[in-house]
């Protein structure tokens, strides 16, 4: 009897990190469902990888900011009994000052990074949990942690960074819920990657040292094996990631100490006008 071939869904698979995931997973023995807007590029990737690896590859040419397109991929994910990996990679920058960001672009940023990630994850998880096998991988960005940093030299990025921050918190919390199920959740937060991501926004980063898409994929898959929830491919000191969690727990613990003692939350003294001189 032939061994079961597991399937992976990769969104944003027509270039960059998504294409690198498709190549690596096909070579590792996965069948694939590739989703992106550019059908010609998806078809070319699928044809090449099928020929080189023997993988069975389906192509979904769609726009995840459109509800009807997203529903098609949700339905496919929910029905696949061999689905073992979902890579939520689709995204775009939409970099510009927030007051100049067209409402339509703001909606698309939220739709692609937040709504599509949530809906596809929700579609894929029941089957994975029933089969006691699988992983959800969300591709965020180091900009998820950039809220206190000024824009120069970083881009104007309010909605993009906030959406990526959502992906981090979503994944952290989901990973806790999935403990003991055989299904894992991980978020990868790359820095600057050598892809067309910035070029399509008119940004020339050819002079900036950048990590390769292949290295991002290597880090992500290795991080899954290591049990990481937050993967930062270029971070040597992994304890810095744990310090984020320590800081979160310390803040929550300190702010709720009154509630735990039965006295109820107490207004911080800096907000109490009666204590000011």
Residue 73: CB partners within 8 Å, gap ≥ 6?
9, 11, 33, 35, 60, 62, 64, 120, 123
> d(Cα 103, Cα 228) in Å, to the nearest integer?
36
Partner residues linked to 31 by β-bridges: 7
**DSSP letters spanning 113-129:** IIIHHHHHHHHHHHHHH
- According to DSSP, residue 271 is labeled G
User: 95 near 153, Cβ under 8 Å?
Assistant: no
Q: Tell me if residue 204 falls in helix, strand or coil.
A: coil
User: 191 near 142, Cβ under 8 Å?
Assistant: yes
Query: Is residue 95 annotated as a catalytic residue, yes or no?
Result: no
Q: Which of 6, 95, 160, 271 is catalytic?
A: 160
- According to DSSP, residue 156 is labeled P
> d(Cα 134, Cα 86) in Å, to the nearest integer?
8
Which residues are known to be catalytic? 160
């Amino acid at each position: 009897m032939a061994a079961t071939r597991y399937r992976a869904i990769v969104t944003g698979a027509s270039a960059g990190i998504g294409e690198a995931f498709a190549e690596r997973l096909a070579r590792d023995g996965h069948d694939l469902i590739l989703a992106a807007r550019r059908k010609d590029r998806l078809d070319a990737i699928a044809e090449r990888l099928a020929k080189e690896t023997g993988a069975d590859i389906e192509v979904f040419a769609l726009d995840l900011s459109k509800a009807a397109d997203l529903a098609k991929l949700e339905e496919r994910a929910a029905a696949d009994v061999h689905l073992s990996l979902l890579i939520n990679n689709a995204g775009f920058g939409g970099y510009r000052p927030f007051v100049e960001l067209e409402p339509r672009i703001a909606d698309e940023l939220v739709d692609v990074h937040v709504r599509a990630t949530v809906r596809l994850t929700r579609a894929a998880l029941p089957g994975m949990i029933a089969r006691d096998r699988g992983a959800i991988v969300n591709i965020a960005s180091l900009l998820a942690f950039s809220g206190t940093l000024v824009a120069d030299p970083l881009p104007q990025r309010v909605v993009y960074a906030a959406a990526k921050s959502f992906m981090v918190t979503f994944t952290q919390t989901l990973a806790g819920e999935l403990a003991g199920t055989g299904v894992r959740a991980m978020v990868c937060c790359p820095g600057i990657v050598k892809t067309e991501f910035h070029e399509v926004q008119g940004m020339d980063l050819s002079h900036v040292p950048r990590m390769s898409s292949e290295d991002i994929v290597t880090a992500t898959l290795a991080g899954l094996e290591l049990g990481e929830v937050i993967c930062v491919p270029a971070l040597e000191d992994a304890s810095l990631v744990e310090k984020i969690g320590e800081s979160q727990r310390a803040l929550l613990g300190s702010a709720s100490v009154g509630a735990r003692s039965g006295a109820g939350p107490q207004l911080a003294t800096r907000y109490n006008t009666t204590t000011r001189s």
